[in-house]
């Protein structure tokens, strides 16, 4: 997914959830509905969460520096993780506590339910619009792959996180409609409180999912096996490569990969036979054999260095997402 697409998704989500949060708190103050309270906290947590995502996106755009030699592109994973923890403690903790408190100790007031229903409808329209945009952007990233694989293997979980949050938000609004209706028209205040607990549990599940999604990238996730196989095949096809002794990858950020590889070079591709024949004649004729051997050794060092540079350029041309290469000569 493009950086512009991700930023657009997060920006729209912040705007939508900010407006929804204000409206829901007004609805809760008017109705006293526990489920409306749960949805208010839900939207507040989502707004703060997406604001943190934007911080991560901005910070992740910084390039390499003296303090961060490989850049800070994985900053979005850190801020995504922090925001997920905020959703867990605020969204899940406060919402569930309020629902349990309402269920056992007090009943909803049930007033102004019509105004609250209109606010929920307004929230559904905004959340639905944000959700559709997130689906569209994630579909671009998916590129025909199964949904299961994109949830499991994506190296940019920001838009995926927004999509998941919006999905839970839409479901939460529909549940709040049920709770509000049951409390207002059937007199089931307990059902409204139960809906609040369910919404809190959904927020907890979402927070744990987002934590796992970002945590695996902070731990240094490797590229997909299929991508590693493609990289190995490319290296093996190069005439200067005789053997790949070791190959490791780390995802640094969206479309940014670090490669560490140990290569055993093919001597036939590196040795300049014509130059060696010339050196042999020089050894026979020159009074300073040490100087001839020194020149031969220096030439071989330059050849190996030039070969490494050419191979690195070839790798980055074929795999532009590989932005850092640590290459060692094996054997």
In a 13 Å sphere around the CA of 123, the CA atoms on its Cβ side amount to 35
Whether 282 has a pLDDT exceeding 50, the answer reads yes
Mind listing the pLDDT tens digit for each residue in 160-184? Answer: 777 887 888 888 888 878 877 777 7
Identify the pLDDT of residue 310: 93
- Global confidence as pTM: 0.69
Exposed / middle / buried, residue 302 (Cβ in 10 Å: 0-12, 13-18, 19+): exposed
| Under 8 Å between Cβ of 102 and 31 | no
Identify the pLDDT of residue 316: 94
Return the bridge partners of 324, or none. Answer: 258
Q: Domain 3-218 sits in which CATH superfamily?
A: Cation efflux protein transmembrane domain (1.20.1510.10)
How many DSSP H helices and E strands does the chain contain?
12, 3
Mean pLDDT of 124-152: 77
Cβ within 8 Å of residue 206, ≥6 positions away: 87, 91, 164, 165, 168
Mind listing the pLDDT tens digit for each residue in 91-120? Answer: 777 777 777 877 776 554 445 567 777 888
Domain ranges of the chain: 3-218, 225-329
Mind listing the pLDDT tens digit for each residue in 44-59? Answer: 877 887 788 788 878 7
Q: Which of 221, 195, 231 is nearest to 317 (CA)?
A: 231
Phi and psi at residue 262, in whole multiples of 5°?
-110, 125
Phi and psi at residue 239, in whole multiples of 5°?
-65, -25
Whether 302 has a pLDDT exceeding 50, the answer reads yes
Q: Position of tokens 């950020």? A: 253
Identify the pLDDT of residue 284: 74
For the record, the structure tokens of 30 come out as 């008017």
Cβ within 8 Å of residue 144, ≥6 positions away: none
Identify the pLDDT of residue 105: 64
Long-range contacts of 139-142 (CB under 8 A, 24+ apart): 140/1, 140/2, 140/5, 141/1
Phi and psi at residue 3, in whole multiples of 5°?
-65, -35
Q: Domain 225-329 sits in which CATH superfamily?
A: Cation efflux protein, cytoplasmic domain (3.30.70.1350)
Task: Give how far Cα 35 sits from Cα of 41, 201, 241, 286, Å.
Answer: 10, 13, 64, 94
* Percent above pLDDT 70 for the chain: 89
Phi and psi at residue 321, in whole multiples of 5°?
-70, -15
In a 13 Å sphere around the CA of 274, the CA atoms on its Cβ side amount to 0
Radius of gyration, CA atoms only, the chain: 29
For the record, the structure tokens of 326 come out as 């640590």
| Under 8 Å between Cβ of 163 and 129 | no
């Amino acid at each position: 997914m493009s950086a512009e697409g991700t930023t657009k998704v997060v920006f729209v989500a912040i705007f939508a959830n900010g407006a929804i949060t204000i409206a829901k708190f007004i609805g809760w103050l008017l109705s006293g509905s526990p489920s409306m309270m749960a949805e208010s906290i839900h939207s507040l947590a989502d707004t703060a969460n997406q604001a943190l995502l934007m911080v991560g996106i901005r910070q992740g755009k910084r390039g390499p520096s003296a303090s961060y030699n490989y850049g800070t592109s994985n900053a979005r994973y850190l801020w995504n993780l922090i925001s997920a923890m905020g959703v867990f403690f605020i969204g899940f903790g406060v919402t569930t506590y309020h629902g349990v408190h309402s269920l056992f100790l007090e009943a909803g007031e049930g007033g102004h339910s019509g105004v609250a229903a209109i606010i929920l409808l307004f929230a559904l329209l905004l959340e639905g619009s944000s959700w559709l945009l997130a689906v569209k952007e994630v579909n671009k990233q998916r590129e025909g792959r199964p949904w299961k694989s994109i949830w499991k293997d994506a190296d940019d979980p920001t838009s995926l996180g927004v999509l998941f949050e919006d999905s839970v938000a839409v479901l939460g609004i529909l549940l709040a409609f049920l709770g509000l209706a049951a409390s207002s028209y059937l007199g089931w205040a307990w059902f409204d409180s139960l809906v609040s607990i369910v919404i809190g549990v959904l927020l907890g599940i979402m927070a744990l999912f987002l934590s796992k999604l970002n945590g695996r990238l902070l731990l240094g996730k490797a590229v997909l096996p299929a991508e590693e196989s493609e990289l190995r095949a490319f290296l093996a096809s190069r005439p200067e490569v005789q053997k790949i002794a070791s190959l490791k990858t780390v995802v640094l950020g969206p479309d940014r990969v670090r490669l560490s590889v140990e290569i055993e070079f093919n001597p036939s591709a590196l040795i300049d036979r014509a130059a060696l024949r010339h050196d042999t004649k020089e050894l026979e004729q020159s009074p300073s054999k040490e100087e001839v051997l020194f020149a031969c050794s220096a030439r071989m060092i330059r050849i190996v260095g030039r070969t490494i540079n050419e191979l690195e350029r070839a790798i980055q041309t074929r795999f532009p997402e590989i932005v850092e290469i640590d290459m060692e000569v094996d054997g």
